[in-house]
Chain A
């Protein structure tokens, strides 16, 4: 199957800093990929390259097109929400729908109105009259009404309250996602997307530090909780990260022997957030949080 996104040595330099540092990437169709990294890791820059918003070095192909030269054509197949509240504030909802319908060949007015009917947004509203959560609902309704192959979401729920955030992802999963479509998400609120992702990419200092499917993550990584007495034994099994919680030690292992771990204590699959912290801080004990 042809990949939706394929990158070879993708780089982007801003002055002296290499924001994206020779990334190789292959994303097949039908996946929900989380691109996760600390602030300034290059997530947004990588996404902007994929969307044709910035120039880049290296090879990049999105749906067989070069985003740097074919942004307009690419946008017929790709939708993106780059942050909440980027809809123009002066526009009325009906104008936005008219405009999208006339410019976008794959937009369905009926679908969009159906999604909007479930919200408090009306066609006569101006965007600036809407609350942040309602703007996010409007933007999602517009995007879900477009029959696109790739949806890119960059911090789509930033600043929204928990009800809107939950609803956002529920709608996305129930009404939009199918085996043909691919979704690429960045967010800081990792725990919210944890259960919907099929693939995980960690990025740090412009480099990919982890690229795995969620199944692989479950098989590879294990978290062990031990009491003080057993911690020395546990440390011998070369954990990649260790932290302390309520007097217990929690150690994270990559590809460890599960039988040995089980002898020492309880094992779990780590949460993405814990795995993320472990990967970012590295295997040194310096990163131990108390």
Chain B
């Protein structure tokens, strides 16, 4: 009997607000902002002049330009989803092995014939796969709704949306790229996920404090000792975490330069990795020596979390 599926459903039921409602709210905000900007333009302009002008200018461009614009725009619009998803996963994992100890329902969960390993795996899988999948489906739905609104507007100013819209391959390519970058980010983030689950299994109370304070104290000590030894301020654990975020395989940068959009993996501030958005650069990160180190660390953290979970009853 496959017990993983019911355990994943249980995670979904308990965290419906975080898994499903949160991305729906972001998608809703996107749609509302789009409608508001259309409404504002319509109020200021007579006869929707700006919109007509925009449609005319777009029609004058090459299809390649329009495709690139839409592709970059779609990738760029995922950044807000990615950042919020990061927070959702952070707090989900922080509570994953803590909440049921706190409200004593762990005694019920442990009365079911599901092993602690499987329980831990279900929570890790929820963070790595289930949450990104919910965010992805809702992002896709948001894009489709926005495209329909856009098409209606173009029709409203006597344009032809079919000639302006990119080929169907463009959105599919954009969604696939976002999906790959998110699932890659799940692997890239494993040491952080492992740490959060360990804290969640360990913290007697205030897991947020236990998750953030030790690295901070460690960083301060590191910097201080380094300063005493060499009278310089070099990189410490905060620097390592910073590099880890900067080099993330998720699209975290979306800027507009001189009218053209620019998206990048992580933040293009280091030379260590190529930050332009493509599959090779994502794979490059996953096959790096840094990733290997991260996986070793994640294994240690997760093994410790499992050890604690086996012995855990109510806290």
Contacts and interface: CB of A to CB of B under 8 A. Distances in A.
Interface stretch (B7-15, B198-206, B269-277): B7-15
B293 interface: no
Contacts of A81: 111
Nearest to A78: B111
A104 B113 contact: yes
A78 B106 CA distance: 16
B258 interface: no
A188 B171 CA distance: 66
A87 B110 CA distance: 11
B105 interface: yes
Contacts of A75: 110-114
Contacts of A85: 104
B130 to A, nearest CB: 16
A241 B109 CA distance: 44
Interface in B182-227: none
Interface in B89-124: 100, 103-116, 118
Contacts of B105: 86-89
Interface residues of A, number: 34
Contacts, number: 80
B6 A103 contact: yes
Contacts of B109: 88
A55 interface: yes
Interface in A88-125: 88-92, 95, 98-100, 102-105
A277 interface: no
Interface string B273-315: 0000000000000000000000000000000000000010100
A82 interface: yes
A81 B107 CA distance: 8
Contacts of A83: 104, 107
A86 B115 contact: no
Interface in A45-67: 48, 51-55
B111 A80 contact: yes
Contacts of B114: 72, 75, 103
A76 B113 contact: yes
A71 interface: yes
B56 interface: no
A72 B115 contact: yes
B228 interface: no
Nearest to A73: B113
Nearest to A53: B313
A102 B111 CA distance: 14
A86 B13 CA distance: 18
A89 B113 CA distance: 20
A183 interface: no
B5 interface: yes
B173 interface: no
B107 A82 contact: yes
Given A72-B113, A86-B105, A98 B311 contact: no
A73 B105 CA distance: 20
Nearest to B13: A95
A55 B108 CA distance: 18
B91 to A, nearest CB: 15
Contact of B14 (A48, A52, A88): A88
Nearest to B114: A103
A89 B115 contact: no
Most chain A beta-carbon contacts within 10 A, residue among B13, B105, B113, B313: B113
Most chain B beta-carbon contacts within 10 A, residue among A81, A82, A86, A95: A86
B113 A48 contact: no
Contact of B113 (A86, A98, A103, A139): A103
A53 B6 contact: no
B103 A89 contact: yes
Interface string A134-168: 00000100000000000000000000000000000
A277 B78 CA distance: 69
A51 B106 CA distance: 13
A60 B39 CA distance: 73
Contacts of B104: 83, 85-86
B311 A54 contact: yes
B240 interface: no
B13 A87 contact: no
A73 B112 CA distance: 9
Given A103-B113, A105-B1, A88 B103 contact: yes
A20 interface: no
Contact of B6 (A80, A82, A99): A99
Contacts of A105: 1, 113
A52 B115 CA distance: 11
14 contacts: A51-B111, A53-B110, A86-B105, A86-B107, A86-B108, A87-B108, A95-B10, A99-B10, A99-B112, A100-B112, A102-B5, A103-B7, A104-B112, A105-B113
Interface of A: 48, 51-55, 71-76, 79-83, 85-92, 95, 98-100, 102-105, 139
Given A72-B113, A102-B3, 12 more contacts: A51-B111, A55-B311, A83-B104, A85-B104, A86-B104, A86-B107, A88-B100, A91-B13, A98-B6, A100-B112, A104-B112, A139-B108
8 tightest A-B CB contacts, nearest first: A102-B6, A72-B115, A75-B113, A88-B105, A82-B107, A86-B107, A76-B113, A86-B108
